[in-house]
Amino acid sequence: MKITASSTALDITAMAMAIHEVANGLPVTMRTKNELGVRIEDGDVVDDHYTGPVLEKVLQTGKKSQETPKTGPYKGMPVLVVPLKEEGEVICAIGVVDITKGIYSDIMHITRRPGEIKPEMSKGEFY
């Protein structure tokens, strides 16, 4: 699979669907720099001419964005959108929608594994 800045929605659907599965079924959006993309929910492509405000922002800035859109089908729901770059140029943007309205993101933050345990702390505070 080769993704370029001009790949179509059809070209990127397989990758977007794989990301949707890895994200445990959370909605996924993806578009390339020069073409509209896909919106996937519940294992189905629900829109194959999709763009959204945060996808557009990430395509322009080339930086990850975690925010809550004020417009579009995911208005009011936290999204995380990242750029995909090739040789420093943004070629597409991929987003995951937290339909739990932040609970999923909070759980992921709370359950992160702690960093390496320092040797002097390995016995715990009760020893």
| Domains present along the chain, CATH in parentheses | 9-111 (3.30.450.20)
Q: Which residues contact 81 (CB under 8 A, 6 or more apart)?
A: 29, 54, 55, 57, 58, 64, 65, 66, 93, 94, 95, 96
pLDDT at 20: 97
Burial class for 59, CB neighbours closer than 10 Å (0-12, 13-18, 19+): buried
pLDDT at 127: 43
pLDDT at 104: 61
Residues of the chain with pLDDT under 50: 126-127
